[in-house]
Amino acid sequence: MCGEIGTEVHHKVHLTPENVGDPEISINQENLMLLCNECHNKVH
């Protein structure tokens, strides 16, 4: 988001016990964002 080097993988659709086994959510590249620690903390 800020342009810094990413260190944290963020799921756009958050993982839950119900969807963690669904590869379309858990490992789909379209659902993942690489963020720096500061931006990851802002999102959460």
Per-residue pLDDT tens over the stretch 24-41 = 999 999 999 999 999 999
Percentage, residues of the chain above pLDDT 90: 93
- pTM of the predicted model, to two decimals? 0.75
Radius of gyration for the chain, computed over Cα atoms and rounded to the nearest angstrom:
11
How high does pLDDT run on average in the chain? 95
Tokens of 26: 């858990």
Domain boundaries, the chain: 8-43
**Angle of CA points 10, 6, 18, to nearest 5°:** 10
Q: Kindly indicate the confidence band of residue 44, based on its pLDDT and cuts at 50, 70 and 90.
A: confident
